[in-house]
């Protein structure tokens, strides 16, 4: 009987892992060193500029901000101490942000789903994307002038009110909010479109394999998986609306106080005129007619806090969506 011999251990060892060669910046070429230095200087400069803005407005705003300014309406006065607060501009800012976001979000989301999931005919999908890019690059003042000419037509009189002479005034929260939605729409559309394109094709194929139709896959798989992207785009769009001034001045009237029109509580308010924090800051700055720099700094600090909160919300939503996007789609199946 032949005896079995144990196999001798192999002398071959595992190949060494190769890692990228590390080099010191000093060993780089002069051109590469200059580019590296310029990149560091640019990044540090941006951080310093952002920090300087926050610190400056914080110091000025905290020095002049009083609780009474948040709960009193502005009034006409040559004395800053008796000119009231900025409650009405805060309400106007919130109302415009809500109107613009509620209009822009469903249109942007529906358009993004159609372009990504259907996109037929191709020329129409390309035209839609080009149009959205044009809207994103259009200055606010151009959108405001277009809106002012549009809402002065008689057929759109219910969105504002008629002046004593019979002409359509064309300025209201509804008119300004509708045009503000054009500022938020490109941001929400881009975020939703990029989120859909980032979803793996296997997610759709798995849904089709289970017998789901395309519309059912969109509703029960893809839509839940891009909720964080939609929320991020809507939040960024809201910040874009809050920071606009030209549309407020031309389409909202930039009045000192919110002025409802009619006796219907909510509809009368939306058809009336008012102001926002941006227009209040401009009017009370040394360059405006109010010349109340202290209250302009206080209102600017409040506006900065709102923007920072929105940025924090975007970062939070992005972190939550990074881990749960595919999970949401899988559970919806």
84-332 fold: MetI-like fold (1.10.3720)
What is the structure's pLDDT at 157? 84
Q: Above 70 in pLDDT, residue 190?
A: yes
- In angstroms, the CA 186 to CA 202 distance is 28
- Structure confidence by residue, pLDDT tens digits, 132-164: 999 999 999 999 999 999 998 888 888 887 777
**Residue 181 and residue 104 in contact, taking contact as beta carbons nearer than 8 Å:** yes
DSSP state of 163: -
pLDDT at position 329? 44
Average per-residue pLDDT for the chain: 84
Gap between the Cα atoms of 159 and 162, Å rounded: 10
Q: How many CB atoms lie within 10 A of CB 191?
A: 26
pLDDT score of 254: 74
How far apart are alpha carbons 26 and 265 in whole angstroms? 70
> Beta strands of the chain (E only): which ranges?
none
**In angstroms, rounded to a whole number, what is the distance separating the alpha carbons of residues 296 and 65?**
10
Hey, is 175 helix, strand or coil? helix
Which tens digits make up the pLDDT trace of 282-333? 888 877 666 778 888 889 999 989 888 888 888 887 777 655 544 444 434 4
Angle, alpha carbons 202-204-209 (nearest 5°)? 90
Q: What is the pLDDT of residues 36-49, one digit of tens each?
A: 999 999 999 999 99
Say if residues 82 and 222 touch (Cβ distance below 8 Å).
no
Instruction: Tell me what pLDDT residue 14 has.
Output: 52
Collapse the DSSP code of 264 into the 3-class scheme (helix H, G, I; strand E, B; otherwise coil) and give the result: coil
| Residue-level pLDDT at 189 | 96
Answer yes or no: is pLDDT of 56 > 50.
yes
Average pLDDT score over residue span 164-185? 88
Q: How far apart are CA 228 and CA 320, in angstroms?
A: 7
pLDDT band at 7 (very low <50, low <70, confident <90, very high): very low
């Amino acid at each position: 009987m032949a005896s079995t011999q144990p196999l001798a251990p192999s002398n071959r060892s595992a190949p060494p892992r190769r890692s990228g060669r590390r080099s010191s910046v000093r060993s780089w070429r002069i051109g590469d060193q200059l580019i590296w230095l310029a990149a560091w200087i640019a990044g540090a400069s941006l951080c310093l500029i952002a920090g300087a803005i926050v610190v400056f407005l914080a110091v000025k705003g905290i020095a002049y901000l009083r609780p009474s300014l948040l709960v009193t309406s502005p009034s006409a006065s040559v004395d800053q101490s008796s000119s009231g607060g900025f409650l009405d501009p805060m309400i106007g800012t919130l109302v415009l942000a809500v109107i613009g976001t509620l209009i822009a979000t469903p249109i942007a989301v529906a358009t993004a789903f159609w372009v990504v999931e259907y996109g037929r005919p191709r020329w129409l999908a390309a035209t839609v994307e080009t149009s959205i890019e044009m809207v994103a690059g259009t200055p606010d003042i151009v959108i405001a002038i277009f809106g002012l000419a549009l809402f002065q037509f008689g057929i759109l009189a219910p969105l504002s009110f008629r002046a004593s002479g019979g002409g359509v005034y064309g300025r209201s929260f509804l008119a300004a909010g509708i045009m503000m939605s054009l500022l938020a729409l490109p941001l929400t559309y881009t975020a939703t479109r990029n989120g859909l394109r980032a979803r793996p094709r296997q997610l759709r194929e798995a849904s089709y394999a289970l017998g789901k139709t395309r519309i059912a896959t969109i509703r029960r798989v893809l839509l839940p998986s891009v909720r964080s992207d939609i929320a991020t785009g809507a939040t960024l769009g809201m910040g874009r609306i809050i920071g606009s001034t030209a549309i407020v001045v031309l389409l909202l009237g930039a009045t000192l106080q919110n002025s409802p029109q009619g006796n219907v509580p909510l509809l009368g308010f939306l058809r009336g005129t008012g102001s926002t924090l941006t227009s209040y800051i401009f009017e009370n700055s040394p360059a405006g007619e109010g010349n109340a720099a202290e209250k302009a700094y206080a209102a600017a600090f409040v506006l900065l806090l709102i923007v920072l909160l929105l940025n924090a919300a975007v970062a939070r939503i992005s972190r939550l969506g990074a881990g749960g996007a595919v999970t949401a789609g899988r559970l919806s199946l």
